[in-house]
A and B are shown apart, each in its own frame.
Chain A
Amino acid sequence: MSEIKKIKNLKEFSTSADRFEGANLLCPGCAHSIIVREVLNATNDDLVLAASTGCLEVCTAVYPYTSWDASWIHIGFENSSTAVAGAEAMYNALKRKGRLPQPDRTPKFVAFAGDGASYDIGFQWISGCFERGHDMMYVVLDNEVYANTGGQRSSSTPVGSSTTTAPAGRVSYGEKKEKKDMMSIMAAHHAPYVAQVAPNKWKDMVKKIQRGFNTVGPVFINAVSPCTTEWKFDPADTMMLTDLSTDSLVFPLYEIIDNKELNITYRPKNVVPVIDYLGAQGRFKHLFKPENKHILDGWQKRVDDNWDYLQRREEARV
């Protein structure tokens, strides 16, 4: 069972039996569940799942219903990483002692958490888990905001975004700080595999998830998760927004192996201007006022610089 699930194309992928169920309480058009489905469907192995407090957690395990067809645990906002690490430790202990209920299984241990739970409040727990080298995957559902509590800024919130705790106003263009570079930070833990994914590029994503599942040690996945509610776009446009995020290179898709090798895994044929991405979202609406033009310019420059940097790293094999 531990062999990698064969997913040649979407038709073949569509024969998967989902282990994430509908009638969860996520918003219509939420990208979280698209990401979760792609992660879970990437393997036929058993799963032990954890979730940090956040949209995914509060919408998928509200008593008396669970939307999970695999064992799942939520403890708190900050500790889904450690919860699943504890379960992984128990697996290792029971395996050694010959007490696993089904000893032939090869379970995968996965934690899901939002950017607030990961970039902010759970940062220390993730760092600890990665330093200790638990055999687990940590997936950030990165919607760049505390969406569950109504749109407060996190350290993943990008410059110029209007949030309830850093709103745009008469004398403010919203968020002033740049998004935290979690990919580099997690790679710097010498994690064996770190990757940024987007659900629109499902093949790239599933390949990375499968590589992650096949990697021994902690794997960090940052998944862009456009939020219809807080990014302020029509729920039907979730995949369009995801396309804009990857094709504008705001969310470049790449992987870092052992903190030594960076590979860009998706190069858009036609790179979309960043303003097309920003303009499709209500959270950046105020940036299109004349007085905020410098913020828009800064955005494009930052994205260009980052893309150059990633390409240089890729070329230099560092």
Chain B
Amino acid sequence: MANKGWDEFDAGAILFSFNDKVDNIATTLAEDRPYSPSNSFTASVGDWRIEKPIFNKDYCIDCQFCWIYCPDVSIIARDKKMIGIDFDHCKGCGICVEVCPTNPKSLLMFDEHKDDDECLAGWPEKDEKEK
């Protein structure tokens, strides 16, 4: 959001989450919300990451542990399925990987700059010891 002059914003430094009126936000998913430019949803902290989580849906059982324990609302779950990661909001903490119960894990951390396909190509095999 561009830095505005003193005469260009709402008095009282009040921020509004949405551009338009919302009816029942608790049942409106992100893609259907009229986010305002002041909503941090529209911002990115992607550049905080040193490592990124990569999702391998071949092993995912949709347990949703990653969804509930993600501190940054960055696990995208729709219709009870894990469908991906929101890399604008993921800070790369690695909690999702730690709580992933599958073997091999369905989420692993990789260097931020490593190519996604390369990450998936080198996915580890099932670890017998981990069981």
**Chain A contacts to B: CB under 8 angstroms:** 1, 10-34, 37-38, 43-46, 60-61, 63-70, 199-200, 202, 228, 234-240
Closest partner residue, chain A, to B2 (CB atom): A64
Contact B98 A31 (CB under 8 A): no
A29-B94, A31-B71 in contact; A60/B40 too (CB < 8 A)? yes
Shortest beta-carbon distance from A3 to chain B in Å: 13
Contacts of B71 in A (CB 8 A): 26, 28-34, 37, 238
Contact A15 B79 (CB under 8 A): yes
Supply 21 A–B pairs (Cβ within 8 Å), ascending by A. A10-B64, A13-B68, A14-B64, A14-B77, A15-B79, A17-B27, A17-B30, A20-B73, A22-B41, A23-B41, A24-B40, A24-B45, A26-B71, A26-B72, A31-B71, A64-B38, A65-B39, A66-B17, A199-B69, A235-B94, A239-B95
Shortest beta-carbon distance from A49 to chain B in Å: 11
Q: Tally A-B pairs: CB < 8 A.
A: 153
Contact B26 A28 (CB under 8 A): no
Tell me, yes or no, whether B110 is within 8 Å of chain A by CB. Answer: no
Shortest beta-carbon distance from B32 to chain A in Å: 9
Q: Mark B40-70, 1 if CB is under 8 A from A, else 0.
A: 1111110010000000000000111101111
Number of residues on chain B facing chain A (CB within 8 A): 54
Tell me, yes or no, whether B104 is within 8 Å of chain A by CB. Answer: no
Q: B15's contact among A11, A19, A61, by CB below 8 Å, is which?
A: A61
Contact B1 A64 (CB under 8 A): yes
Shortest beta-carbon distance from B91 to chain A in Å: 4
Cα A159 to Cα B98 with chains together (Å): 29
Contacts of B82 in A (CB 8 A): 14
Closest partner residue, chain B, to A45 (CB atom): B26
Closest partner residue, chain A, to B96 (CB atom): A236
A11-B80, A17-B27, A17-B30 in contact; A38/B68 too (CB < 8 A)? yes
Shortest beta-carbon distance from B30 to chain A in Å: 7
Tell me, yes or no, whether B93 is within 8 Å of chain A by CB. Answer: yes
Contact A46 B89 (CB under 8 A): no
Contacts of B38 in A (CB 8 A): 64-66
Tell me, yes or no, whether B112 is within 8 Å of chain A by CB. Answer: no
Cα A81 to Cα B92 with chains together (Å): 33
Contacts of A11 in B (CB 8 A): 62-64, 80
* Other A-B pairs, 15, CB within 8 Å; known A22-B41, A34-B70, A70-B25: A11-B80, A15-B77, A18-B30, A21-B39, A21-B89, A23-B72, A26-B71, A44-B26, A64-B1, A65-B39, A68-B17, A199-B69, A200-B69, A238-B71, A239-B98
